[in-house]
Amino acid sequence: MFRLRPLISLLALSAMISMLVAACGDGSNDNPPAQRGNQISLVVHSLTRADNLYYQDENQVTYAVRNTDPDRTIAIAWMTVRNDRSDEVRLDVGPDAYRLLDEDANEYMPINPFEQRELEPNPPADEPFYQFIWGQFELQRTFGVTGAAIFDVPRDVKFEQLRWRAIEAVFVRFQGQFS
């Protein structure tokens, strides 16, 4: 004779364990803001602030990008642009490619990391290095590029959305995820 009670207890225990594992996540953004256009999709994984950021060029020379004045900071949008539908997409990512908007619809232009930079022979050891979504890219279907877009913004700004304009218009709303 089949006993139903042990099976129900086992299922209930499994459900409780699953809920506990889900509730005890690492706090990362498991559902980052994203939007899809006709040809590309855009995911903003994080949006952070820093007074300086560092990167190395292909010759291993280290550079720093610094904020312009004490009342401002650098906003760093870590994002992925992906070609989901076309055989090939050619992106020309420059000063008109994207904008960051605040809650009052003020637009912030991207910083060109290869023009607004300083040679940095001794970067702090604990600082991350960045790669940028800037320049020309050819993305085959199902391929993408992940990197940082950087902006010079007021320190107290509350971010509302990222507007992508290279190839097509794709607007990613943050809905309070990045303040």
The yes-or-no verdict on residue 71 having pLDDT over 90 is: yes
pLDDT, one tens digit per residue, over 97-140 is 999 999 999 999 999 999 999 999 888 888 888 999 999 999 99
How does residue 4 score in pLDDT terms, banded at 50, 70 and 90?
very low
How does residue 28 score in pLDDT terms, banded at 50, 70 and 90?
very low
Q: What's the pLDDT at 178?
A: 76
Burial call 4-30: b when 16+ CB within 10 Å, e when fewer:
eeeeeeeeeeeeeeeeeeeeeeeeeee
The yes-or-no verdict on residue 59 having pLDDT over 60 is: yes
Q: Which of 26-35, 63-72, 142-151 has the lowest mean pLDDT?
A: 26-35
Report the amino acid identity of residue 85.
R
Interval 86-96 mean pLDDT? 95
Burial call 59-79: b when 16+ CB within 10 Å, e when fewer:
eeebbbbebeeeebbbbbbbb
Q: What's the pLDDT at 124?
A: 85
State the chain's mean pLDDT as an integer. Answer: 84
Domain 33-173: CATH class, spelled out: mainly beta
The yes-or-no verdict on residue 94 having pLDDT over 50 is: yes
Q: What's the pLDDT at 29?
A: 54
Would you list the domain boundaries of the chain? 33-173
Number of Cβ atoms within 10 Å of the Cβ of 146 = 13
